[in-house]
Amino acid sequence: MDLLTVTLALLVLLTPAWGFDMGQSTRCVPIPHQMSVCQDVGYSEMRLPNFLGHSSLEGEVVPRSEDWRPLLQTGCHPHAQAFLCSLIAPICLDTFIQPCRSLCVAVRDSCAPVLACQGHVWPEALDCDRFPAQEDMCLTPHPKHSNSHLAKALPQPACQACPSVEEHPTLKTVLDALCQDDFAVTAKLSRRRRPSGEPEFEVEGRVEFIRQGPLLPYDTQYLLQQWLLINLRCANALVRPGRAQLYLLTGAVQPEGTLALTRLFPWHKKDHSIAVATRKWKHHKC
């Protein structure tokens, strides 16, 4: 099941009105090990029914928690897991602790564009107006240390129109891409299918720089991985299933700091023009 299908299922699950009655009786249970999306949230017991109205661990909570995994894997917001798990696996205390409206807004503003990239809107059941505004009576994670200035300085993946894939390009085409775009890297992209049928896209091995531009060596593999997960429609069209394929990827960093891939060149053994072009560029630049 791909992210588009998962997202559609997610919207079906969450579209009904808020399904939890604060006056109903509840019980505390351990968060099951198979509920991996909420294993490292800082507590070990959850309240049932949860805030989505699910009361059966095996029949509802665990399988439906997996619907959130593809969205969380995109890294759309650092507190997305805390927000979602506060709803599907609420902490078991003497009082009900909902997520704060400010937390919902922050997660929505970052993660809704990921859903929009798949052609869907933020679920109505997660309307942030449903959550309390009082910061001291609800969940509002505080970062252990402030690194927001660093995060903002780094290029970030974002939803975009799919880049072109150019098979067997000419020498001039490759040289033009190397000269016109901000960066150029080589990377192996793979598409494997899990037993569940969900496609998995991965950047395998090291990313090699032809033109580094504004990218950082330690961040680029993760950056490309997140780009694939966010732009799943593009990934489905660009990356063929089977063996990992080596690509030359070129692109630019937009003024607002988002990364945009411009062109992908599948680098086959017979593509001498790519090898010649990269050697020429390294020695002579533009």
CATH number of domain containing 134 = 1.10.2000.10
- Selected residue with higher pLDDT from 167 and 284: 167
Q: How far apart are CA 179 and CA 182, in angstroms?
A: 8
pLDDT band at 146 (very low <50, low <70, confident <90, very high): very low
- Selected residue with higher pLDDT from 207 and 149: 207
Note whether residue 67 is domain-resident.
yes
Amino acid at 236: N
User: How far does Cα 192 stand from its chain's mean position?
Assistant: 17
Note whether residue 22 is domain-resident.
no
Q: 3-state secondary structure string, 206-231?
A: EEEEEECCCCCHHHHHHHHHHHHHHC
pLDDT band at 154 (very low <50, low <70, confident <90, very high): confident
The pLDDT of residue 207 is above 50: yes
- What is the extent of the structural domain holding 129? 27-140
Q: Are 98 and 54 contained in the same domain?
A: yes
Q: How far apart are CA 120 and CA 115, in angstroms?
A: 5
Q: Are 132 and 170 contained in the same domain?
A: no
**How many domains would you assign to the chain?**
2
Reading phi first (left if > 0) and then psi (alpha if -120 to 50, else beta), residue 58 is in alpha
- Residue 190 is predicted with a pLDDT of 93
The pLDDT of residue 145 is above 80: no
- Residue 200 is predicted with a pLDDT of 80
Q: Are 165 and 265 contained in the same domain?
A: yes
Note whether residue 75 is domain-resident.
yes
Question: Residue 89: CB partners within 8 Å, gap ≥ 6?
Answer: 31, 35, 38, 41, 46, 50, 61, 65
CA-based nearest residue to 6, from 227, 226, 196, 245: 196
CA-based nearest residue to 129, from 107, 104, 156, 165: 104
- Selected residue with higher pLDDT from 198 and 104: 104
Q: What is the DSSP string of 216-273?
A: -HHHHHHHHHHHHHHSHHHHHHHS-SEEEEEEEEEEEE-TTSEEEEEEEEE--TT-HH
CA-based nearest residue to 66, from 10, 123, 125, 122: 10
- Note the pLDDT tens digit of each residue in 5-51: 333 333 333 333 344 555 567 899 999 988 989 988 999 999 999 99
Structure tokens at 67: 């619907």
pLDDT band at 217 (very low <50, low <70, confident <90, very high): confident
In the three-class reduction of DSSP (H, G, I as helix; E, B as strand; rest coil), residue 13 is classed as helix
- Note the pLDDT tens digit of each residue in 42-90: 999 999 999 988 888 988 899 988 888 888 888 899 999 999 999 999 9
- Residue 96 is predicted with a pLDDT of 85
Q: How far apart are CA 55 and CA 25, in angstroms?
A: 11
φ/ψ of residue 141, rounded to 5: -60, 140
Q: CA neighbours within 13 Å on the CB side: how many for 62? A: 12
CA-based nearest residue to 181, from 166, 197, 202, 199: 166
pTM: 0.79
- Residue 183 is predicted with a pLDDT of 96
Q: Are 241 and 159 contained in the same domain?
A: yes
Note whether residue 198 is domain-resident.
yes
φ/ψ of residue 271, rounded to 5: -85, 80
